[in-house]
Amino acid sequence: MTDSTLTTVDVVLPCLDEALALPWVLERMPAGWRAIVVDNGSSDGSAEIAAGLGAHVVREERRGFGAACHAGLLAAEAEFICFCDCDATLDPGGLVPFVEEVAAGRADLVLGRRRPQGRGAWPAHARAGNLALARMTRRRTGIALHDLGPMRAARRDALLSLGLTDRRSGYPLEMVVRAADAGWRVAERDVPYLPRAGKSKVTGTWRGTWHAVRDMRGVLTAPAGGAGATAPAPQAAPTSQPAPAAPSAATGADPEAGR
């Protein structure tokens, strides 16, 4: 476990058959933070493993990355909420500076820009699809983004105010688009991206990547002014608010839960 003094943080971990990765991910959760593992129909005992390791387990029977993420958001109770993949490609300890930035009022939404570590961490076709979507997102929102990855942090109440409706692969992108429409300050920070544990359910295949791109393009082509477009930007934290301590050690979207 990493060490952090900020205890009002819930981390949503969408999960679909991630029994191999869960121990690695959960042991890197910052101390005092709550892991919310959203089981999206696993058949490998992921939910039981997560519960045995101390995570709060939520079951979401409706398949889809967005369905799992939103179920975790609704189950969260902390002031700050983070999202992270549950396949050991991303270290949740790296979320501490994200939350620090939101808590200090320097950003309303912080996103992780994935930096592949080693061969096979990010298949070429998946990276190409992500790059194309990032360019489309920059044109749509005006935000200088390079990645639409799953690692991110914001205030829970503010996220709920966006009124996110996508329950498939477009959920992470819809969050960015609605936040931009609402005038949020969106920041991007580099994070190491590791080869995943087990076989990818989406980015490991051209078909999976195509379905993800299709879902996300639907979000980008939807008319502006959706359910959350008028949600107010989160209030900046008071300047006197102490920033949380960083963990002593920290390293280091995909469209379907757990990919």
Q: pLDDT digits over 61-113, tens only?
A: 999 999 999 999 999 999 999 999 999 999 999 999 999 999 999 999 999 99
138: closest CA among 130, 129, 146, 126? 146
Specify the pLDDT at position 255. 35
The per-residue pLDDT for 1 is 46
Residue 41 is predicted with a pLDDT of: 96
> For residue 132, what pLDDT is reported?
80
- Residue 187 CA, chain-centre distance (Å), reads 14
Low-confidence residues of the chain, pLDDT below 50?
1, 3, 5, 202-204, 206, 227-230, 238-259
Q: Select from 47, 57, 10, 8 the least CA-distant residue to 29.
A: 10
Look at the alpha carbons of 89, 170, 164, 63 in this order and tell me if their dihedral is positive or negative. negative
What whole-number distance in Å separates Cα of residue 131 and Cα of residue 137?
Answer: 10
Amino acid in position 196? R
Alpha helices in 54-110 (DSSP H): 65-75, 96-103
What's the pTM value of the predicted model, to 2 decimals? Answer: 0.79
Give the number of C-alpha atoms closer than 13 A to the C-alpha of residue 131, restricted to the C-beta side. 8
